[in-house]
Amino acid sequence: QVQLVESGGGLVQAWGSLRLSCTPNEGTFSLGWFRRAPGNEREFVAAMSWNGQATYYADSVKGRFTISRDYTKNTVYLQMNSLRPEDTARYSCAGRKAGRSSAPLTQEASYDYWGQGTQVTVSS
């Protein structure tokens, strides 16, 4: 059974930084990050294709967040800098096996697997 293991959330002050990580327990995946704040719908944050050739970002995080991949660890990272209170949300990693689909990685429906989520709280 495929599992996506996330880590790295926490409490940080505004303008601070956090790094989230997502590690599938098997296989090669395109991986994305989504977030949901209380009272809001889940929204796309960032994604990277399985081969690292394509990355995508929500407009709200461009220039502040960076998605990267360490193939030796089979891990994708989301480096979040200049955090704002409005970034407060539960962040979830999503995975789609390599070669399964060409649907846009910015859409929730494109993914087959989801992690349990990790909370990010940014204080003002």
- pLDDT tens digits, 100-111: 878 899 999 999
Q: Facing residues of 118 across strands?
A: 91
Q: Is the pLDDT reported for residue 123 higher than 90? A: yes
**What are the backbone angles phi and psi of residue 73, rounded to the nearest 5°?**
-110, 0
- With a CB cutoff of 8 Å and minimum separation 6, the contacts of 16 are 83, 122
Segment 73-82 shows an average pLDDT of: 96
SS3 content of the chain, % helix, strand, coil (to 5): 5, 50, 45
Name, in order, each residue with C-beta under 8 angstroms of 123's C-beta and a sequence gap of 6 or more: 11, 12, 13, 14, 85
Per-residue model confidence as pLDDT tens digits over 1-54: 899 999 999 999 999 999 999 999 988 899 999 999 999 999 999 999 999 999
What values do phi and psi take at 96, rounded to 5?
Answer: -135, 130
pLDDT at 101: 79
